[in-house]
Structure 1
Amino acid sequence: MARLLKLMQNEWMKLWHKKGTWIMVGILVVLTVGMMGLMKWISLQNMGGEMTREGMIQDPSSLGGTVLLLTVIVAAGIVASEFSQGTIKMLLTRPVKRWKILVSKFLTVNLFGIFLMLIGYVVYILLAMLLFKSGAGESLSDWSVWSKSLYMLLLSFGNVFITSTFAFAIGSVFRSSSLAIGLSLFIYFTGSTISALLSQYEVAKYLFFTHMDLTQFETGMMLVPDLTMPFSLAVLAVYIVVFLLISFSAFIKRDVTA
């Protein structure tokens, strides 16, 4: 465990020594500000009534898309970059089991995703309080507001986790960050459309992009009818295991001189 934590610390430090990582944090903040500004403008144009502060806080799931895109970039390149930069030989010849190296990279990717989600959430909440007014009969002291907010945040992170795991697998197997990013974003942007087109067929229930957006169980905007949360979680769990098995199998067996 101590060795694994040390590997994670090294990966975390390597990640934050890159200017691109700090740029991604800046992009997250800017896009969150822009998104909230747009929501305020739309609210003002809505003659039927302005969005409330509590209503905005209860659904921060819009953060998921931005965090997903940024996390996928890191997930796709955290292994592939070792090959492109020529550091893979030094990495794999260390007296450390290969699976521990890959676990440390996978955990670092997800830790980064969680960190981005929290940063975006803090900015989102501050802007919601600044830009929007409380609704009649609503109060931020009501625990139901915050419990719903955190629940939606957790559900939206599910999409980040499964997509970044897919990108991690592709990057690990094919050693190409561009391929991993491209395929991951293709699935992210077209997956829901494919699921909707195939919704009348049984196969749609077993496609992983049908279940990626767990917020559908709260919003009611189901891609395929008769889905349940436990079933979606079970399908996603199977896919995650498959993705990771492929990743570890390829990484452990790979020739160090490759």
Structure 2
Amino acid sequence: MIKLVQNEMVKLVARKRLIVISIIVAILVGLFTYAQYKQTIEQQEKLGTDDWRVAVQTRIIDLTNRLSSSRMSDDQRERFQITLQQQQYYLDHDINPSEPGAPTFVKMFIENAGPMFIPLLVMVIASDLVSSEHSIGSIKLLLTRPVKRWRILLSKYLTLLLAISLIVAIVGILSFVISGLVFGYKGINAPVITGFSAANGELDFSNVKMISQWEFLLMDFGLVWFVAVVVGTLSFMISVLIRSTAAGMGIMLAALISGSILSSMVSSWDSAKYLFMVNLNLTGYLNGVAPPVEGMTLLFSIAVLLLWWLIAIIISFLVFTRQDVY
């Protein structure tokens, strides 16, 4: 099995997709770092101070004014009310929610990249693992080897898990190193609060606790990695079912984009909470973001994603071990 995985990793590296992904991540991190720097400077000039308390107070006033608008939808009003309560909590407990430094940037970047950007990078790798063998005609040679089909597919899946881990690590390392050149590397032990839970536009503070930023980052990266594995496994399944890499990528891209749209529109569609793409923003639960559908929790979303992962694994192995090759 180790030799099979090594062989798959050699093929993956030879396609240079990990290098391309690293370049894309480096460029985007650089752009976001510059944008964040410009925003920080502009905010300080506008407020006339670099005191974070003034920035939070200004944010509270802005949210209060926006909530007074009669044109706001109920979903927007609920999200703004929750954000307002969070900002007030930070102010009351003297906790800077935007402690300057690379760790804070990494936290922001990984939370925004987790539901869409990182799954897209993983999809590029996973959608090609099996279908590419059909495209170049090497599948016949691969299956004539004295190795059971399930072992061949398992080696490809283990390679996918290694690639996903590398992608998440690349995102974390590059975002930390590049942003640190601008913001510095302090703040790894800065206090972060988590444990918010939102319901009916109100925050529950009963489970709120303060932890170090490095602990929060570990939770963030763990949840993002889990989401990437689920999306990668679903892409892997489509790669087994559909022999066209382009078609497989198109299907997963449509699913991820539709999930991003549905997450802001399905509050009254209760059954939508069982769709995998509506449950991808796991890091939002750590920050008390209102779930797309009332009643959704972190454990519920993890359970739904685990079910989709299990179904994808079963279908992948059943189809690959029984399908005809031509």
In the superposition, the TM-score normalised over structure 2's length comes to 0.71
Residue of structure 1 equivalent to 2:156: 105
Residue of structure 2 equivalent to 1:238: 307
Matched, 1:182 2:250: yes
Matched, 1:170 2:220: no
Output the amino acid matched with 2:131. A
Output the amino acid matched with 1:19. K
Residue of structure 2 equivalent to 1:13: 10
CA distance in 1: counterparts of 2:113 and 2:262, whole angstroms:
23
Greater Cα offset, 152-161 or 82-91? 152-161
Deviation at 1:141, TM superposition (A): 4.2
Residue of structure 1 equivalent to 2:88: none
Deviation at 1:92, TM superposition (A): 0.9
Residue of structure 1 equivalent to 2:272: 204
Per-residue CA deviations over 1:142-187 (Å, capped at 9, x if unaligned) read: 5711111121122222332222211111111111211211111112
CA distance in 2: counterparts of 1:23 and 1:207, whole angstroms:
31
Runs of 5+ consecutive residues of structure 1 not aligned to the other structure: none
Where do residues 99-138 of structure 1 align in structure 2 (5 Å cutoff)? 99-132=150-183
Where do residues 126-165 of structure 1 align in structure 2 (5 Å cutoff)? 126-132=177-183, 139-141=187-189, 144-165=212-233
Aligned length: 251
Partner of 2:111, secondary structure, is coil
Deviation at 1:129, TM superposition (A): 2.3
Residues 269 and 293 of structure 2 are in contact (CA less than 8 Å); yes or no, is this contact kept in structure 1?
Answer: no
Deviation at 1:38, TM superposition (A): 1.9
Residues 80 and 175 of structure 1 are in contact (CA less than 8 Å); yes or no, is this contact kept in structure 2?
Answer: yes
Greater Cα offset, 142-151 or 115-124? 142-151
Structure-2 change in CA distance of 1:105 and 1:153 (3 Å) = same
Deviation at 1:63, TM superposition (A): 4.1
Per-residue CA deviations over 1:200-255 (Å, capped at 9, x if unaligned) read: 13212211112122112123332112211111111111111111111111111011
Question: Structure 1 or 2: larger strand share?
Answer: 2
Residue number among 214, 222, 227 corresponding to 2:296 in the alignment: 227
Q: Which has the larger radius of gyration?
A: 2
Matched, 1:248 2:317: yes
Output the amino acid matched with 2:183. F
Output the amino acid matched with 1:165. T
Deviation at 1:139, TM superposition (A): 4.0
Structure-2 change in CA distance of 1:255 and 1:139 (3 Å) = closer
Residue of structure 1 equivalent to 2:41: 44
Residues 25 and 174 of structure 2 are in contact (CA less than 8 Å); yes or no, is this contact kept in structure 1?
Answer: no
CA distance in 1: counterparts of 2:105 and 2:307, whole angstroms:
34
In the superposition, the TM-score normalised over structure 1's length comes to 0.88
Residues 105 and 179 of structure 2 are in contact (CA less than 8 Å); yes or no, is this contact kept in structure 1?
Answer: yes
Matched, 1:29 2:26: yes
Give percent identity, aligned residues only: 30
Residue of structure 2 equivalent to 1:62: 112
CA distance in 2: counterparts of 1:197 and 1:57, whole angstroms:
28
CA distance in 1: counterparts of 2:263 and 2:113, whole angstroms:
23
Per-residue CA deviations over 1:33-65 (Å, capped at 9, x if unaligned) read: 222222222222224557511532444323434
